[in-house]
């Protein structure tokens, strides 16, 4: 029996090792704000506290959580806004990579403070803003959005009438692939994107099948290859998008959009509307009085400005921070406008 207790004691001791280690860290909580952290930091070791001490705005701003939706333009929004939040307002910025509708859900769980580029979503606005009062519409972010079906420019030169949807069935056989089951292929992007494509194909009686590419990258790579190799491609695409400056994709005209024509998702038979992209924030964040809220409220930029940053990220492969820094350095006055009142 004494043997067992001996080994049990050993184990206990080891547990104490680990727990003490953690407890020591936890107990030390009081120290950080206290400043400096004792002990002489060598030339290579700078104290942790130094990173956060100094300006009092740290505590004033606190933590801001931004939703980051899966397309490059949105990433450009997040890159610039989070850079300004961190460097000018000393906020702690958390970036959550979420899809559009899931981001809205985050307002009710406190997972998300702000969506910077919202594309429509009237049903969600009704649920979370009007009914549940967990989110607030902060108005336009200056961007205008277009969604539609696009073809590479070489196709328009060769088949000029392809930009009219009524002629799409005539060309369906051009767009056949291994995935489209004998019909023409309409390539879609990320499954979370705003889309009526499946309904449009059905309701416009088009001999096409929607095939899921899975991501923005898949769309861009497909278009680039299609233009280079003169291969036919019909795909979902959108603006603002830096890639439209590289390859001048041409939009296919669908039946004109009229207000309300897209009210029932399964019955849609008209083009996408022009989107005035807007900012939405959590109600709690709006009430917090954080300077971050003021900044996001003031923040606004143009399609052109966004494309500049997007291109730095996607083509020049700059990191988010490097791209933001570069853009801000040549647009100081714009950023100063955003910082007013913070």
Partner 1 sequence: MARAARVYRRPGRLTLLLGILVGWLVLYAVLKGTDTISLAPSDVTSLHTRLNDLNTSVGDNRNSNPFFLYFINEIQVGATHFITFLQNLLSQPSGTRPVPVVGWLGVVVIMTVIAGRFGNWRVAVLAAAGFLFLGLQGLWQPSMDTLALTIAAVVICVLIGIPLGVLVAQYRGFERVITPVLDLMQTMPTFVYLLPLTLLFLIGPATGVIAMVIYAMPPVIRLTAHGLQAVSTETVEAGRSLGSTRPQQLAKIMLPMARRTIIIGVNQTIMAALSMVTIAALVAAPGLGQTVLQALESQDVGTAFNAGLAIVVLAVVLDRVTTAASERARATDHARTRLRADPRWRRGADLVALIVTAVAVYLSYTYQLFAAFPDHLAIGGTRLGLDLGTHIESWTSSATSWAQRDLGSITGPIKNGVTYHALNPLQNLLDSSPWWLTFIAIVATAFVLGGRWAALIAATCLGLVVGTGLWQDSMDTLAATLIATVVVVVLGVMFGVWMGRNARADWGIRPFLDALQVMPAFVYLVPFVALFGATRFTGIVAAVLYAAPVAIKIVADGIRGVPAETVEAAGSSGCSTWQVITKVQLPMSVRSLALATNQGLIYVLAMVVVAGLVGGGALGFDVVAGFSQSSLFGKGLAAGAAIVLLGIALDRVTQSAARRAGGHVSHRAT
Q: Which is nearer to partner 1, 53 or 298 (CB)?
A: 53
Which region among 142-150, 208-216, 243-251, 326-334 touches partner 1 (by CB under 8 A)? 208-216
* 266-325: contacts with partner 1 (CB under 8 A): 266
Residue with tokens 């205008």: 144
- DSSP H or E stretch at residue 67: strand 63-68
Q: Which is nearer to partner 1, 142 or 246 (CB)?
A: 246
Q: Which is nearer to partner 1, 49 or 283 (CB)?
A: 49
* 103-132: contacts with partner 1 (CB under 8 A): 105-106, 108-109, 111, 123-124, 127, 131-132
Which region among 102-110, 141-149, 242-250, 253-261 touches partner 1 (by CB under 8 A)? 102-110
CB of 194 to partner 1, least distance (A): 9
- Cα 298 from chain centre: 19
Asked if 56 is part of the footprint of partner 1 (rule: CB under 8 A), the reply reads no
Judged on CB neighbours under 10 Å (0-12, 13-18, 19+), 194 is: middle
CB of 122 to partner 1, least distance (A): 12
- Which of 39, 259, 260, 341 touches partner 1 by CB under 8 A? 39
* Rounded distance between C-alpha atoms, residue 220 and residue 73, angstroms: 13
CB of 28 to partner 1, least distance (A): 6
- Which of 122, 178, 329, 333 touches partner 1 by CB under 8 A? 178
- Which of 77, 88, 117, 216 touches partner 1 by CB under 8 A? 216
Q: Which residues of 104-132 are buried (b: 16+ CB within 10 A; e: fewer)?
A: bbbbeeebbbbbbbbbbbeebbebbbeee
* 231-260: contacts with partner 1 (CB under 8 A): none
Asked if 218 is part of the footprint of partner 1 (rule: CB under 8 A), the reply reads yes
- Which of 198, 204, 283, 286 touches partner 1 by CB under 8 A? 198
- Cα 8 from chain centre: 53
Question: How many chain residues are in contact with partner 1, going by CB under 8 A?
Answer: 80
Instruction: Classify the phi-psi angles of 281: left when phi > 0, otherwise alpha if psi is within -120 to 50, otherwise beta.
Output: beta
Nearest CA among 62, 156, 74, 147 for reference residue 116: 74
Long-range contact list for 216-222, CB < 8 A, 24+ apart? 216/70, 216/71, 216/72, 216/189, 216/190, 218/187, 218/189, 219/187, 219/189, 222/187
Cα dihedral: 158, 159, 162, 168 (round 10): -120
Which region among 177-185, 253-261, 272-280, 285-293 touches partner 1 (by CB under 8 A)? 177-185
CB of 285 to partner 1, least distance (A): 17
- Any residues with CB less than 8 A from the CB of 341 and at least 6 apart, and which? 294, 298
- Cα 150 from chain centre: 22
Asked if 13 is part of the footprint of partner 1 (rule: CB under 8 A), the reply reads yes
Asked if 26 is part of the footprint of partner 1 (rule: CB under 8 A), the reply reads yes
CB of 340 to partner 1, least distance (A): 27
Residue with tokens 């727990």: 19
Nearest CA among 231, 216, 240, 198 for reference residue 77: 240
Asked if 196 is part of the footprint of partner 1 (rule: CB under 8 A), the reply reads yes
Asked if 30 is part of the footprint of partner 1 (rule: CB under 8 A), the reply reads no
Which region among 210-218, 244-252, 274-282, 330-338 touches partner 1 (by CB under 8 A)? 210-218
Which region among 14-22, 142-150, 253-261, 273-281 touches partner 1 (by CB under 8 A)? 14-22
């Amino acid at each position: 029996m004494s043997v067992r207790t001996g080994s049990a004691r050993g184990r206990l001791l080891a547990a104490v090792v680990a727990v003490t280690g953690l407890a020591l860290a936890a107990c030390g909580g009081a120290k950080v704000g206290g400043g400096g952290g004792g002990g002489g930091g060598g030339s290579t070791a700078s104290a942790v506290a130094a990173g956060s001490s100094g300006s009092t705005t740290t505590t004033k701003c606190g933590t801001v959580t931004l939703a980051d939706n899966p397309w490059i333009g949105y990433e450009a929004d997040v890159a610039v806004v989070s850079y300004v939040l961190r460097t000018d307002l000393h906020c702690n910025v958390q970036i959550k990579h979420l899809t559009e509708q899931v981001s809205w859900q985050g307002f009710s769980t406190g997972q998300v403070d702000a969506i910077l580029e919202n594309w429509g979503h009237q049903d969600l606005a009704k649920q979370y803003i009007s009914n549940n009062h967990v989110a607030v519409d902060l108005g336009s972010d200056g961007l205008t959005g277009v969604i539609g079906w696009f073809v590479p420019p070489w196709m328009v030169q060769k088949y000029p009438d392809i930009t009219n949807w009524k002629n799409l069935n005539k060309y369906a056989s051009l767009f056949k692939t291994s995935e489209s089951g004998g019909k023409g292929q309409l390539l879609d992007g990320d499954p979370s994107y705003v889309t009526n494509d499946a309904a449009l194909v059905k309701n416009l009686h088009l001999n096409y099948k929607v095939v899921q590419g899975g991501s923005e990258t898949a769309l861009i790579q497909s278009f680039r290859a299609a233009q280079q190799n003169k291969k036919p491609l019909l795909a979902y695409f959108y603006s603002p998008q830096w890639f439209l400056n590289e390859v001048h994709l041409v939009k296919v005209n669908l039946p004109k959009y009229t207000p309300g024509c897209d009210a029932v998702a399964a019955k849609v038979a008209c083009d996408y509307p022009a989107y005035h992209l807007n900012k939405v924030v959590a109600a709690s964040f709006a009430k917090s009085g954080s300077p971050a809220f003021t900044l996001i409220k003031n923040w606004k930029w143009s399609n052109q400005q966004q494309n500049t940053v997007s291109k730095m990220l996607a083509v020049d492969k700059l990191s988010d921070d490097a791209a933001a820094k570069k853009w801000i350095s040549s647009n100081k006055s714009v950023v100063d406008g955003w910082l007013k009142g913070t």
